[in-house]
Amino acid sequence: MNKRFALPTILVIVSALLAGCWDQVQIEERGFVVGIAIDAPRTKEVEKRAAKEAPRKPKVKQRFLVTHQLVIPGGLIAGSQGGGGGQNTTNEAFLNLTSEGDSLFEVSRELATRTSRAPFYQHLKVLVISEEVARTPNGFANAMDFLLRDPDSRRSGKVFIANGLAKSIIEVKPKTEKLPSLYINSIGENIEKNARMLPEVRIGDIHEELLNPFSFVIPRVRAEKNEIKMAGSAVFSLYNQMVGFLGEEETEGLNFLTGSIDGGLLKAKVKGDLVVLNIQGTKHEIVQDLRDKQNFKFTIKIECEGILAEAYALMDFLSKEETKKLERAFAKEIERMCLDTLQKVHKEMKVDVIKLGSNIRQKEYSLWKQIQKDWESGQRLYEKSTIKVEAKVYLRNVGSINRSELEEGR
Amino acid sequence: MSAQTLSEKMISKNHMGINIASVTVGVGILTFPRALAKATSGFDGLISVVISGLVALLIGWLLAKLAARFPRQTFFDYTAIIASKPVAYALTLLVCLYTMLFVSFEIRAIGNIAKQYLFYSTPVEMITLSFLLIVQYAVAGSRIAMLRLNLLFLPVVLVVIFFVLVFTTQLLEIENIRPYFSSSWKSLLEGSKAVGLSYSGFEIILFYTMLMRNPEEGPKAMLLGLFIPVSLYVTIYIFVIGVFSAEVAKNLTYPTIDLAKEVEIPGGFFERVESMFFTIWIMTIFNTCVMWLDITILNLTSMFRKVKKMVWILALSPIIYFVAMLPQNLVDFFAFADAITYFGMIIVYLCPICLLLIAIMRGVKGHE
């Protein structure tokens, strides 16, 4: 090519390409959002003020009070004291910012006026939504839309429903962790230890549930002074509106019914004294009899195995008959728990959180196509169906000892 | 040793297959699960993938047969032999238009997706322009060397996609995949049509057979070239449905990107796998794009032998760039993509098949 053109061409290209990077954001300028809590506003004050400023602005009925939890990286370093020249003066690793608005994006952008670090959602770990928001029609789905739509955020954050204020959940100051959100996140991972916790529900799973015509459950959290308790579950109807809570015991029953137990404990009474089983795994099968449309029959078969963890009852755990007796007692306890849960979700709340409908859909698709509209709504075939539970327990091991005490000792 | 250098060497059967696979895997890989989940009811979509793969193979086989009849001759040359010069001029010009539009489409796709996921505040115009400049650079050099890039890139692409899929296995849920085989034939055919758009590209055999050492191996190359995308699409589709369920897949703009975003490997650099996914995806688009531009130039130089390659590159680029900027939003963009593909069906599938029939009837054959 001509040498005359070379220099001008290079200059043009260089000036176009080296002028700067549009998207350069220094890592120190990013506000890593690790947790979000969504509440309904307590007062109408902000709304009134906003209405005064711009009376003709488009408005909707619902407003959200959103708390973002940002990480202060300096606070994460152990032993770094405030005076070291960092921005961190309180030595806390997080900063909670609460703003009100009727769209989540609005709130997110409003944060930019209040903090030096613009919110960045890629590391979002925990999303807590208050009971109040979840109970309003469409409120839950509306609160989820922004995080699902934003290409910047991911579908892997965990979702919880707060019993009470959502804000207070991410405001707890745990002793073991620096960041409340990470603390909540790690608690959510302890499902193997306790059967009373619902398996984690991710933002992506919520999208699935919102689109599917089924009821669903989300773990419930409750704040206490320096800690949170994650037990029980919030129940949502097929219209994606929260209809109630299940207690801890009922959640355990539900976990048995859906076959989502990896570990936990099971208490039963034998000869008037307690025995405790350490659950090590369950198997779960649904047998369906769909001949009579007005009375579908489901049998949920649960098989559970575990080892003896604690026993107050005085028996010879190494004998065959006694083991059988124990296994029967545990099985009965599982059945009792499941029936209690069924009583509530099937008879009282009338929601198909055991996903029997999904089971029909998977196995008898042509039938499902016909009854789809009449399952939980319409003719309410779910309500009219009969659900039975059959449990079986295998006691694999009795632990290191047989007896801790002799009969004569009592 | 022969005196030939690598850049002058003819391409082998397997290399041709890799070329076809590289050009086929493009933008469609990101969007086809959505279209497919919409048309069919979930899992069965993979039957559609296979059906349309077989149709593509049949068409590709015919195209390869046509090209193999005229070894060492360009598309323009053999069209002129079969159906007179004026027809050859008209058809080749239309093919050039098609391939050029395809380049516009690909560079705009890069612009759109890179803006949505990587550069939030860089203008689409700038992203697209810088990509186009690189494509120009690649096309300006030796043709065989450019095609050799496919051999380098495709294995990397396949390995990274495999890596992404392996890490999503923990998110697979069997209840999302069931029920199996519940869609009607109509919806399966609808799905085949939807995924068929993602197979366009294999027609490059019409133009590149002249570079093959043994042109009669074209049909075999086509088999390899389509086997890779078919199996890739089937796997990706199963994973998308298994991880998201059909209902969600229908409602994701780019399901495959979201699949890559779902993956989280604890600890450090690889935690965000989608960055790797984007890298390799841009590599595939680069290959696709370069080949389309090269074919445009190849056809133009075969018609107008006096004009130099470089002149065509510099003359066409502004037009390509301008056309790429025409779609105003995502909906326009997808409509643009569909329009190109339908246009292409007539120009590069239907017309060449007619040419083949005429050639067989008149007994026209090329000279060795």
Res. A81: pLDDT tops 70: no
In chain A, how many domains are there?
Answer: 2
Query: What's the CATH fold of domain B10-355?
Result: Amino acid/polyamine transporter I (1.20.1740)
Band (A408; pLDDT cuts 50, 70, 90): confident
Distance CA A46, CA A59 (A): 13
Nearest-Cα residue of chain A relative to residue B124: A22
Highest mean pLDDT of the ranges A289-293, B56-60, B212-216: B56-60
Structural tokens at position A385: 């169906």
In a domain? residue A12: no
Residue with tokens 């659900």: A387
What CATH number should be reported for the domain holding residue A358? 3.30.300.210
Residue with tokens 């599917």: A212
Res. B349: pLDDT tops 60: yes
Residue B282 neighbours by CB distance under 10 Å:
16
Ordered alpha helix ranges (H), A45-166: 45-53, 73-76, 104-111, 131-135, 139-149
Burial class (CB in 10 A: 0-12, 13-18, 19+), B145: middle
Q: Do A156 and B182 touch (CB under 8 A)?
A: no
Res. B183: pLDDT tops 90: no
Please report, for residues A367, A369, A382, B32, B41, the alpha-carbon distance to residue B179 in angstroms, rounded to integers and kept in the order given: 12, 12, 20, 20, 9
Q: Do B245 and A366 touch (CB under 8 A)?
A: no
Distance CA A336, CA B84 (A): 86
> Taking the domains of chain B in order of start, what are their residue ranges?
10-355
Range from A259-263, A294-298, B295-299 carrying the lowest mean pLDDT: A259-263
Please report, for residues A295, A355, A373, A374, the alpha-carbon distance to residue A379 in angstroms, rounded to integers and kept in the order given: 12, 18, 8, 5
Non-local (6+) Cβ contacts of A214 within 8 A are A238, A352, A355, A357, A358, A376
Band (A83; pLDDT cuts 50, 70, 90): very low
Greater pLDDT, B192 or B274: B192
pLDDT value of residue B271: 66
Amino acid at B169: T
Structural tokens at position B69: 């009849």
Residues of A with CB under 8 A from a CB of B: 13, 16-17, 21-23, 122, 151-152, 154-156, 204, 207-208, 211-212, 355, 358, 361-363, 365-366
Residue B184 sits at the chain A interface (C-beta within 8 Å): no
Residue with tokens 């949920």: A300
Q: Rounded to the nearest 5°, which phi and psi values hold at A266?
A: -140, 125
Burial class (CB in 10 A: 0-12, 13-18, 19+), B66: buried
Structural tokens at position A323: 């083991």
Question: In terms of domains, do A348 and A262 share one?
Answer: yes
Structural tokens at position A197: 């916790």
Q: Are B10 and B2 in contact (CB under 8 A)?
A: no
Per-residue pLDDT of A24-51, as tens digits, reads: 777 778 888 999 999 998 888 877 887 7
**Average per-residue pLDDT for chain A:** 85
For chain B, what percent of residues have pLDDT higher than 90?
A: 55
pLDDT value of residue B318: 94
Q: Do B120 and A152 touch (CB under 8 A)?
A: yes
Question: In terms of domains, do A82 and A225 share one?
Answer: yes
Mutation target to probe the A interface, by most A beta carbons within 10 A, among B34, B178, B240 is B178
pLDDT value of residue A197: 86
- A282 CB-side CA count, 13 A: 30
In a domain? residue A3: no
pLDDT value of residue B233: 94
Q: Do A151 and B244 touch (CB under 8 A)?
A: no
What is residue A205's three-state secondary structure? helix
Distance CA B293, CA A65 (A): 53
pLDDT value of residue B61: 93
Structural tokens at position A401: 């000892």
Per-residue pLDDT of A164-173, as tens digits, reads: 899 999 888 8
Greater pLDDT, B19 or A1: B19
Predicted TM-score (pTM) of the model is: 0.87
Range from A140-149, A227-236, B258-267 carrying the lowest mean pLDDT: B258-267
Angle, vertex CA B69, rays to CA B65 and CA B74, nearest 5: 100
- A75 CB-side CA count, 13 A: 16
Burial class (CB in 10 A: 0-12, 13-18, 19+), A392: middle
Question: In terms of domains, do A196 and A305 share one?
Answer: no
Band (B323; pLDDT cuts 50, 70, 90): very high
Mutation target to probe the A interface, by most A beta carbons within 10 A, among B41, B182, B243, B257 is B182
Please report, for residues A109, A352, B224, B296, the alpha-carbon distance to residue B279 in angstroms, rounded to integers and kept in the order given: 30, 43, 25, 26
What number is the average pLDDT over the span B192-220? Answer: 89
- A227 CB-side CA count, 13 A: 7
Range from A143-147, A174-178, B24-28, B227-231 carrying the lowest mean pLDDT: A174-178
Chain A residues in contact with B182 (beta carbon < 8 A): 365-366
Q: A205, A222, A246: which is the final residue of a domain?
A: A246
What is residue A368's three-state secondary structure? helix
Q: Do B175 and A156 touch (CB under 8 A)?
A: no
Res. A77: pLDDT tops 80: no
pLDDT value of residue A80: 46
A150 dihedral zone (left: phi>0; alpha: psi -120 to 50; beta): beta
Per-residue pLDDT of B78-123, as tens digits, reads: 999 998 899 999 999 999 999 999 999 999 999 999 998 888 888 8
For chain B, what percent of residues have pLDDT higher than 70?
A: 95
Q: Which of A330, A322, A336, A270 is nearest to A306 (CA)?
A: A330
DSSP state of B25: S
Q: Are B69 and B365 in contact (CB under 8 A)?
A: yes
Chain B: give the shortest CA distance to residue A382, in Å: 19
Ordered alpha helix ranges (H), A136-179: 139-149
Q: Are A128 and A157 in contact (CB under 8 A)?
A: no
Question: In terms of domains, do A226 and A328 share one?
Answer: no
Cα four-point dihedral sign B110, B112, B113, B117: positive
Cα four-point dihedral sign B40, B46, B51, B52: positive
In a domain? residue A15: no
Band (A314; pLDDT cuts 50, 70, 90): confident
Helix axes B124-140, A3-17, angle to 10 degrees: 140
Band (B368; pLDDT cuts 50, 70, 90): low
Q: Do B121 and A151 touch (CB under 8 A)?
A: no
What number is the average pLDDT over the span A128-144? Answer: 91
Q: Do B244 and A17 touch (CB under 8 A)?
A: no
Question: In terms of domains, do A226 and A128 share one?
Answer: yes
Question: In terms of domains, do A86 and A220 share one?
Answer: yes
Structural tokens at position B106: 């690909």
Distance CA B170, CA B188 (A): 29
Residue from the list A204, A207, A365 with its beta carbon closest to the beta carbon of B182: A365
Distance CA A92, CA A71 (A): 9
What number is the average pLDDT over the span A96-121? Answer: 87
DSSP state of A377: S
DSSP state of A343: I
Distance CA B250, CA B244 (A): 9
Q: A195, A224, A246: which is the final residue of a domain?
A: A246
Question: In terms of domains, do A225 and A302 share one?
Answer: no
pLDDT value of residue A79: 52
Distance CA B330, CA B336 (A): 10
Question: In terms of domains, do A138 and A263 share one?
Answer: no
Q: A246, A261, A289: which is the final residue of a domain?
A: A246
In a domain? residue A51: yes
In a domain? residue A210: yes
Chain B: give the shortest CA distance to residue A352, in Å: 16
Res. A9: pLDDT tops 90: no
Residue with tokens 């059988």: A324
Band (A128; pLDDT cuts 50, 70, 90): very high
CB pairs under 8 A between A and B: 56
Question: In terms of domains, do A330 and A242 share one?
Answer: no
For chain A, what percent of residues have pLDDT higher than 70?
A: 94
Band (A154; pLDDT cuts 50, 70, 90): confident
What is residue B123's three-state secondary structure? coil
Residue window 218-257, chain B: list those with CB within 8 Å of chain A.
244-245, 247-248, 251
What number is the average pLDDT over the span B43-62? Answer: 91
Question: In terms of domains, do A221 and A357 share one?
Answer: no
Strand residue runs (E) in B223-296: none
List A297's β-bridge partners, or say none: A289, A386
Residue from the list B120, B248, B264 with its beta carbon closest to the beta carbon of A211: B248
pLDDT value of residue A269: 87
Chain B residues in contact with A361 (beta carbon < 8 A): 178-179
Q: Are B6 and B148 in contact (CB under 8 A)?
A: yes
Greater pLDDT, B173 or A3: B173
Question: In terms of domains, do A78 and A62 share one?
Answer: yes
Domain of residue A145, residue span: 26-246
